[in-house]
Structure 1
Amino acid sequence: MLLTTKFLRPTSDSRAVKRERLSALLEPDGPRRLNLVIAPAGFGKTTLVAQWCSRSSSPAAWLSLDEHDDEPRRFWQYVTGAFEHAGLTGAGELRKQLAHGTDEAFTEAITGLINTLARDGSPWTLVLDDFHFIHEPAIHRQFAYFVDYLPPGVAVTLASRTEPPLPLARWRVRRWTQDLHPGLLAFSEEECRQFFQGTMGLDISEEDVRAICRKTEGWVAAMQLSALSGKGNPAGTKQIDLDERHISDYVLSEVLDQQPAELADFLLETACCPRLCASLCDSIRSSGDSQEILEKLLSQNLFLIPLDTRNEWFRYHDLFRDALLLRIRHSQPEKAAQLWQRTVDWLLAHGHVQEGIAQIVRHADWHWLARVLAEHGNNLIHGGYHLPVLNWLDALPQDLVTDNPQLQMLRIWGLFFANRVDTLAPLLSSLEDLLDRHVADSHPDAEGALGLQSEISLMRSYLARTRSDDKSATDLTRQVLKEIDHTRIPLKSVTYYGLGLDYYGKGELTEAEDALQSAVRYGQVEQKPSTVLSSGGLLAWIQYNRSDIDLALDTCTDIRQWVDRHYADPSQPRLISCWQNSTLCEIHRERDHPQLAATHLQPLLEHVERGTEAGQHVVIQYVRGHLAFSEGKLQEAIEALEDAAQTARKRREQILFEPPASTALLARCYLAAGFPDKARGCLDSRVDAEFTNPLNREQNRISEARVMVALDQPERAQEILSALLQPAERNAHNRHLVEILLVYGEALALQGRTEESRQMLTRAISRAADAGFMRLLAEESPHLRSLLLSLPALNAPGSWNSGVRTMLLKQEEMAGTAAATRATETVRSPERSAKTPETLPEPLSQRELEVLALIHQGHANKEIASRMSVAPATVKAHIRNLYGKLGVGRRTEALARARQLGLLDN
């Protein structure tokens, strides 16, 4: 049962200041989807939003959150309950669905709520008050999905003490958000007058109103202190000096100097802390009463801002903290330095390493930074913080890095995880030379330097993979495994991940699964979320392709839960695995849940737009193309798969593994679009020798058999498939096995061998049913789909049979429409290249053409800036102009348009 009072909007206090200028900012405007009202307690957030809602004519659902709502099921029940209470038709059924659904049902229910809002068509507003009570990462992810797909005209207003960990940067770029921060919430002079005279009931002069407003900068908490400080004065407030003192002087004189000595000392002694908790304060003060004092400060509203709802973590208002720091550094400089050092020591010792490093960098203590990075840098990198580590290494004076093998190895690991593999070879050679000198000179750390050799061997094994030198990669990896127990840095997880890649590349899937399971297990022991996520993602990908769909889904769920428990930093982007998200997209696409599939694909597309590692780029575009193909969006599928194939060909030396065979799926798209010759040409451009992974070679051969069937050469198709059948069965390539049986059955049917065809197709149906494959059957040719519908095995009772029949019949119904659409669809045909290319109204400049070429090569903005020797801001400006001239909004669209105009080679 839901508490209905949580759905009641607070009534407006007649004495409250009317904030008309802020209410206007909350009004709907263009593409906006989110109003974000962020400020500490006492800034009037709830009052403002309630006033705005009371004057709005649009339907509004209100929900006041509390600490009990930080659980996904309860949160979404209350959200749908708020809409139900406000009169949204259909919200009640969604709420009931949430009461008994599984975790996966949350996304479906959220999608249902979005669809319900779209059907209703009204400009709904959802207000979530006190959103700072929500800490659960799962809710934040689900809420981001909700906002991403809101129908036009529907918006959300969040009131919170802290900025939530949502994809706000992306939404701001799209002009989806309106931010009301403390600066905007600051009172104007007129609002100050209304506050003192109307709300506080004080009779003060116009001169004093202006003075207080200026000194407090419209901060209502400071105004309250000003009003209270004037009690007993006949004029209602004491006279304020009107000179140009900074607000910190005012805070110190009006607050600090009037506190008891115990509180004043505490404020000064803890000002060096970027955040405060009782344990930290006790440690640096050598006392045990900090929690009691913090609660006293909080109860007195002494510029202390809670960072959670449990009164564990706090921070001072920035202006107040600056004033305190100024006082103690001026009056007690030695004590201030000692307190700061104790603070950093505590942060490092209690796992707040990044925060400790930030303090060290701010004070430019480079020798201390070098020691901390040597000790903690490896764990930070393997925890997903490779980019900050690279920035900190760049901040160090060069001489501190040049003669330090640990820091040089740290830079190599950082560049490796940043996918800048092409820069590593010279750095490894330089490091090996340095280690040789240390050993020859009997350097004090010669023994530790020798321990780095295993890391160098491991890194060289990954470089060997980029050169397709599988033997060297495997030999180096096994060498590391022999020496691994003698190294100081835990490397087992990364080593087993490399071994898993080797086995996967050779098509030895059982061995690959064993190695990847070891990588996951050791990664959890070593606390390396990035390695756990990558290893578990590839493991799930293999399980999916072996038709263990449920097992693959369980693997993804278990890995995600472990990573979220051990990597929960809202200030950092969420760790994403290309393999895992791709697997989840494939699973939900196969089970005919395209919206869920798109949910897992979306974060990967953002990586593509920013410029990701070449291998990941190919995998993402392959999965993107497969989803578009399943949905019948052939043009979108072709563009994504052409991009994947070109990237795989042009940037092969930068890819650590052989990505999926994009050309095989591209050929299927051309077949579906009615261009069998183009499909054949696409496959003819690849030869089997190019594939080192048997899975990819197999996939390409199956597509070749499909083309032979389409070209009315069933005997040739049968010959191809006969050679594939036994190896696929022997190696448990079960997904491919189903495809082989299906196409084989169609080839036999075309030869008039009806009974043999039925037997082959019945075997395929049996295998598909065991694995739970569905979309796989619906993606086959219309002729093959009709053969399947006539099979007695498919017409037997059962939920899977019924689901597949329904899907196939739906495909049949859509076939007529698809044929008509295909005639006008802008799929690239062989004749199109003969046409005169279009011209742009304004041609691209030489610099814009250079940028376009580098984007085509897959480089990120930062890499483009480096190659062109210009600032990143200049690159962004060129890209902005480029998009404008091409009439596009993102990288993939720009490349497709450029190829269409003949600006790039196909």
Structure 2
Amino acid sequence: MIDYVLGAEPGTGAHLVERMEQENLFISRLSGHTTNWLRMHGLIRELLRRELEEDSDRAADLNRRAARWFAEHGLIEEALLHARRCGDTDLATEIVVGSRGVISSTEQWSRLERWLSVLPDAAIHADPELLILAAWSADNRGLHRLMATRLDRLEAVVDAIDDPSRRDAIRGEAAVLRSVQYYQEERGQEALDATAEALRLLPLEREGEQAYAGIVRSMALQMVGDFPGAQAEIDRMLDGAHGSGTFQTRILMARAFVQWIEGDTTGAAETARVIANLAHEHGLGESAAAAAMFSGMTSLDRGDFAAAGAAVRPTVHGAYAPNAFFYGHSAMVLALALQGLGREDEARSVVADVLARRLAGANPLGAAEVEAFAAELALRQGRVEDAQRWHEQYQPGSCGVAYGAYHPELTRLRYLLLSGDASADDVAVELIDRFRASHNVRLERAVEVLRRSRGAPEAAGEVGLGSEAGSTEREISGRSAGGTGGGLSSLSSREIDILELLAERLSNKEIAKRLHIAPATVKRHAATLYGKLGVHGRRAAVEHARAEGFLERSPG
């Protein structure tokens, strides 16, 4: 480093350090580091600093050289510090853009916002490559409105890039993030179109961005009612998986999300285990947090509070800071697990001290979720007045699509049911229609269970995300437990719906109308369930289910 910064002959720095050590001239080697790192006495540092103040041009040149050396050796924060000291915004931009691969390949997203904070807003808004990084940072922190604003700014400046390949790559990244925006807004087909555009434009080496597009694409396919298509998309991307472990873990996250939304708790738990193993193998903190979240959610769904808490506690209280979604929903799982174990004060502490502090201050949408979740916990603990205060200010529909551990609309319905509000059943129908339209099987059934129990937590087993949806799966599992079962226990909630309607002798078109999905989707679901049951055709499937006690036998 000394040679590089001073522009000296190779070996000059090593000789200088050796001489200083021999003569005990105010330097010492750092313990716990490689022997190449040394500390200079504070008095000497102050003397040198004052000398540099007398020659600002020389100081700027040395800082510029130091910035480049640190950047070349992967010490980005140190590089940006020196770039800022010499006031070289162009150099800082070059360092940030040139180091972006470190973020995506190692999932160290929390570093990106620190890097961007070194740069003035005007520089970010004028540079397409900085703007797309700023949009990624907003997405990672759950700030989707800010993400959309930055994407709008990007559209105004992206044409300034002369290189067509670079221009297309940034447009591809923007399309990935637009697909996230559309999915959040429950615009499934537009999300699909955006992912198709992203995958067309992204170069092969942008594997992390491609994988993210795959996540949104598979979830959007599920949202429009094409669960088999979502599974096929995930399988296709896994078959062609390449590069680092983060590509595989992101595609597997898509599988876990789709399984969770479809009500397949067992499948989501199995996928979480695979993600956890890959995350450990490749040292991927974000993927490890995702695996822990899914493990916690599925354990909670089965009523295993101790396992749920153990799964997510390292994410909530650990040193690694994952993105806002994984962190927030893991904290919700921890609070519900503690509540289920009868540790009410600790559950409230998680909401007050962890969620509110870490999410509400930085994310308006997250703040709405935090406040709603606090009301959910209040209802479970009999503090109805606290929930009432929340309900009076809650804006229905203020929180977007639901695909994690919790959604505020369930708390809204629970409160209305418990308080005997005359609108409760109308709200339940409204929510069922909403979740059915987006093919969220888990939440559709959660609403149905809440309505049957009139919102009483004890009737749902005190599981939050929770057994409203999970109890339905346990009811289904119980129905298949009487016989050998075959492949019946592996059927998803949607496949069970179709099997029951097949037993009513409805055509594919009639089933599609009943479930608000396309006839082609019914056909794909049916083909999948025939394969799981090892039968050919609807009659054989229905007969098999009846023989196993899964369906009631037809009269006579």
User: What pairs up with 1:170-209 in 2 under 5 angstroms?
Assistant: none
Partner of residue 83, structure 2:
360
Equivalent residue for 1:598, pick from 299, 309, 315: 309
Equivalents in 2 of 1:561, 1:427: separation in Å? Answer: 34
SS class of match (2:87): coil
Shift of 1:583: 2.0
Question: What do residues 113-135 of structure 1 show as CA deviations (whole Å, max 9, x unaligned)?
Answer: xxxxxxxxxxxxxxxxxxxxxxx
> Residue 316 of structure 2 contacts residue 327 of structure 2 at CA under 8 Å; is this kept in 1?
no
Q: Deviations over 1:160-179 (max 9, x none)?
A: xxxxxxxxxxxxxxxxxxxx
User: Are 2:433 and 1:433 equivalent residues in the alignment?
Assistant: no
Cα-to-partner distance string for 1:699-719 (whole Å, 9 max, x where unaligned)? 33345556699999xxxxxxx
**2:509 alignment counterpart:** none
**Map of 1:303 onto structure 2:** 27
Are 1:323 and 2:47 matched, yes or no? yes
1:630 pairs with 2:340: yes
Number of the residue aligned with 1:470: 188
Residue pair 2:253, 2:275 contacting (<8 A) in 1 also? yes
Cα distance change, pair 707–390 in 1 and its aligned pair in 2 (3 A): closer
Q: CA deviation at 1:366?
A: 1.3
CA spacing shift, 1:624–1:535, aligned 2, 3 Å: farther
Cα gap change, 1:582/1:656 in structure 2, threshold over 3 Å: closer, same or farther? same
Distance across 2 between alignment mates of 1:559 and 1:624: 24
Question: Which piece of structure 1 moves more, 588-597 or 416-425?
Answer: 588-597
Residue in 2 aligned with 1:372? Answer: 95
- Which amino acid counterpart does residue 303 of structure 1 have in structure 2? I
Counterpart mapping for 1:51-130 below 5 A:
none
Q: Structure 1-normalised TM-score?
A: 0.39
Structure 1 residues 524 and 340: alpha-carbon distance in aligned structure 2, compared to 1, 3 A threshold: farther
Letter in 2 for 1:685: V
Q: Does 1:699 align with 2:479?
A: no
1:304 partner SS: strand
**Aligned counterpart for 2:292 among listed residues 577, 581, 588:** 581
Q: Choose which of 134, 138, 142 in structure 2 pairs with 1:411.
A: 134
Q: Please state whether the residue corresponding to 1:685 is helix, strand or coil.
A: helix
Structure-1 residue corresponding to 2:495: none
1:460 aligns with 2:178: yes
Instruction: Give the corresponding residue for 2:521.
Output: none
CA apart distance, 1:422: 1.0
Q: Helix, strand or coil for the counterpart of 1:413?
A: helix
In the alignment, which of 358, 379, 400 is matched to residue 655 of structure 1? 400
Distance 2:235 2:7 in 1: 42
- From 405, 420, 423, the equivalent of 2:146 is 423
Instruction: Output the CA distance in 2 between the equivalents of 1:612 and 1:580.
Output: 13
**Equivalent-residue separation in structure 2 for 1:489 and 1:541 (angstroms):** 20
Residue aligning to 1:841: none
Q: Is the contact made by 2:308 and 2:334 (CA closer than 8 Å) also made in structure 1?
A: no
CA RMSD between the two structures: 5.5
The answer on 1:686 being equivalent to 2:435 is no
CA positional deviation for 1:581:
2.8
Question: How do 1:259-274 and structure 2 match up within 5 A?
Answer: 269=2
> Is the CA contact (8 Å cut-off) linking 2:280 and 2:288 kept in structure 1?
no
Identify the residue that residue 641 of structure 1 maps to in structure 2: 376
635-644 vs 595-604, greater mean Cα deviation: 635-644
Deviation at 1:306, TM superposition (A): 1.4
Alpha-carbon displacement from aligned partner over 1:719-766 (angstroms, at most 9, x marks no partner): xxxxxxxxxxxxxx9985433354x7xxxxxxxxxxxxxxx6635999
* Superimposed CA distance per residue, residues 387-418 of structure 1 (whole angstroms, 9 cap, x where no aligned partner): 65445545545554444222222222222222
Shift of 1:625: 5.5
The answer to whether the Cα contact below 8 Å between 2:302 and 2:470 also exists between their aligned partners in 1 is: no
Change (3 A) 1:705 1:322: same
- Report the secondary structure of 1:419's partner residue: coil
Q: 1-side partners of 2:235 and 2:23: how far apart?
A: 52
Structure 1 position 483, deviation (Å)? 2.8
- Asked if structure 2 preserves the Cα contact closer than 8 Å seen for 1:641 and 1:666, the reply is yes
- The correspondence for 1:481, drawn from 196, 199, 202, is 199
Rounded Cα–Cα distance in structure 2 between residues aligned with 1:298 and 1:590: 66
Is the 1:500–1:513 Cα contact (8 Å) retained in structure 2? Answer: yes
Distance 2:239 2:395 in 1: 35
Residues 28-64 of structure 1: CA deviation (Å, up to 9, x unaligned): xxxxxxxxxxxxxxxxxxxxxxxxxxxxxxxxxxxxx
Is there any run of 5+ residues in structure 2 with no aligned partner, and where? 349-372, 380-386, 460-468, 492-556
Whether contact under 8 Å (1:454, 1:484) holds in the other structure is yes
Residue of structure 2 aligned with 1:449, choices 157, 162, 167 = 167
CA distance in 1, matches of 2:485, 2:411: 25
What are the Cα deviations for residues 638-691 of structure 1, in whole angstroms up to 9, with x where unaligned? Answer: 9563689989x8485663554456589879999xxxx98869986763331121
- Contact 2:218–2:258, Cα closer than 8 Å, also in 1: no
Structure-1 separation of matches of 2:42 and 2:488? 62
Cα deviation, residue 770, structure 1:
9.9
Q: Is the 8 A contact 1:380 1:386 kept in 2?
A: yes
Q: Partners in 1 of 2:488 and 2:336 — Cα distance?
A: 18
Paired-residue identity, %? 13
Shift of 1:468: 0.8
- Tell which has more relative contact order, 1 or 2 (C-alpha 8 A, sep 6+): 2
Structure with the larger helix share: 2
Cα distance change on mapping 1:356 and 1:285 into 2, 3 Å = farther
Contact 1:538–1:580 under 8 Å retained in 2? no
Tell me how far 1:299 sits from its aligned partner. 11
After superposition, give the CA deviation of every residue in 1:515-542 in whole Å (9 maximum; x if it has no partner).
5577789998368x6x876655554466
- 1:376 deviates by 2.7
Secondary structure of the equivalent of 1:655? coil
Q: Deviations over 1:271-320 (max 9, x none)?
A: xxxxxxxxx89997522883995698399594324152553544434444
Distance in 1 between residues matched to 2:376 and 2:335, nearest whole Å = 6
What do the CA deviations read for 1:223-279 (whole angstroms, capped 9, x no partner)? xxxxxxxxxxxxxxxxxxxxxxxxxxxxxxxxxxxxxxxxxxx9xx47xxxxxxxxx
Relative to structure 1, the CA distance from residue 352 to residue 307 in structure 2 (aligned partners, 3 Å threshold; closer, same or farther) is farther
Q: Which has the larger radius of gyration?
A: 1
C-alpha distance in 2 between matches for 1:617 and 1:685: 30
- Looking at structure 1, the residues matched to 421 and 256 of structure 2 have their Cα atoms a distance apart, in angstroms, of 30
For residues 711 and 588 of structure 1, the distance between their equivalents in structure 2, rounded to whole angstroms, comes to 18
Asked whether the equivalents of residues 533 and 577 of structure 1 are also in contact (C-alpha less than 8 Å), the reply is no
Structure 1 distance, partners of 2:337, 2:195, is: 36
**Do the aligned partners of 2:279 and 2:287 also contact (CA within 8 Å) in 1?**
no
Q: State the distance in 2 between where 1:356 and 1:660 align.
A: 40
Partner Cα separation in structure 2 for residue 320 and residue 523 of structure 1: 53
The letter for the 2-side match of 1:762 is G
> Of 241, 264, 273, which aligns to 1:554?
273
Given that 1:741 and 1:761 are in contact with CA atoms closer than 8 Å, whether structure 2 keeps it comes out as yes
Measured after TM superposition, the shift of residue 351 of structure 1 is 2.1
1:306 maps to a residue whose letter is: L
Aligned-partner Cα distance in 2 for 1:318–1:591: 59
Distance 1:689 1:533, change over 3 A: same
**1:800-841 residue CA offsets vs partner (Å, 9 max, x unmatched):** xxxxxxxxxxxxxxxxxxxxxxxxxxxxxxxxxxxxxxxxxx
CA distance in 2, matches of 1:538, 1:359: 40
**What amino acid does structure 1 have at the position aligned with 2:428?**
R
Alignment of 1:185-334 (within 5 A): 269=2, 286-287=10-11, 290=14, 293=17, 297=21, 302-308=26-32, 310-326=34-50, 329=52
Provide closer, same or farther for how the CA distance between residues 377 and 653 of structure 1 changes in structure 2, counting only shifts above 3 A: farther
> Is the CA contact 1:506–1:694 (under 8 Å) kept in the aligned structure 2?
no
